Amino acid sequence: MIVVQLIGGLGNQMFQYAAGKALALHLGTELKLDLKHLETDTGDGYTKRDFGLNCFNLKYELLTEKERNNYFTERNSFIKRVVKRFFLSGKNENVFYEPGKKFYPDFFRLSNNTYLSGYWQSEKYFHKYASVIREDFIPGANLPDDLINVVTWIKQCESVSVHVRRGDYITLKSANDFHGACGIDYYSKAVNYLSQNKNIELFIFSDDIVWCKKNMIFDFPVTYIEQKNGACWDLYLMSLCKHNIIANSSFSWWGAWLNANNRKIVVAPEYWFKTIKSRELDIIPDSWKVIEL
């Protein structure tokens, strides 16, 4: 089997699942998800997240504690401290830690019975199995009644999703120092780029929609999407838009990637992390437009 450790919010979990699923399919074996990190309050300065993949129409198996102990040393506390300090958390040859932020070219040379720990933020890990991943990330419930008219309008007009990630990017110092939030200048330039020869309508998604209503003002029709039905439905709505303006966020990345419009234009920020440009990573597909400020 292949085991993938789930870390972070929904967008991160989707990357981790997709990479693990692709490797499992490549090796002809099963995939299991390890929720240990999500269930543990590590106190490491990161926002506590819940398991989010259960909103999709995918089948999954969870790693048991007994199975997990086959990968990690779980004896007495003294031995655990020594192993953690000197042997990278007790890893054995079957635990593979992501070696960097770019695509690891030997990923598909990993063997069966591998435990994957990392973020795996590149479509290169699962591009070969894109159709399977898209099917897995279909919402598992019926469309809520209050979204029926929204979906109809998104499909009829020249719709552009605009995702504004704030939340812990603003309120949590460690997240702000590392990620930073996209500013108004980026969104204005992105909207201007997409507005050329297009009668666009904007659909704004955010974890701080009140702030957006006060600050995200454009000379185009705007619909502010209230977060009433959960993150899965926000992703679904973003994926239905004709075009996408994403934040430096794995969540809006997936909204754009799941967009099946063959003529879509996806706009991304110049910096994915506060000091690392998007094009220095493998996270932005070549066909997407990076806006430089």
Which pLDDT score, from 0 to 100, does residue 48 have? 76
User: 261: how many CB neighbours lie within 10 A of its CB?
Assistant: 14
> Burial of 99 by CB count in 10 Å (0-12 exposed, 13-18 middle, 19+ buried)?
exposed
Distance of CA 261 to the CA centre of its chain: 19
| Residue 23 host element (H or E) | helix 10-27
Give φ, ψ of 92 to 5 degrees.
-115, -170
240 pLDDT above the threshold of 90: yes
Please measure the distance between the N-terminal and C-terminal CA atoms of the chain and give it in whole angstroms.
45
| Stronger pLDDT, 70 or 115, i.e. the higher one | 115
| Structure confidence at residue 84 (pLDDT) | 46
- Which range of 31-45, 92-106, 238-252 scores highest in mean pLDDT? It is 238-252
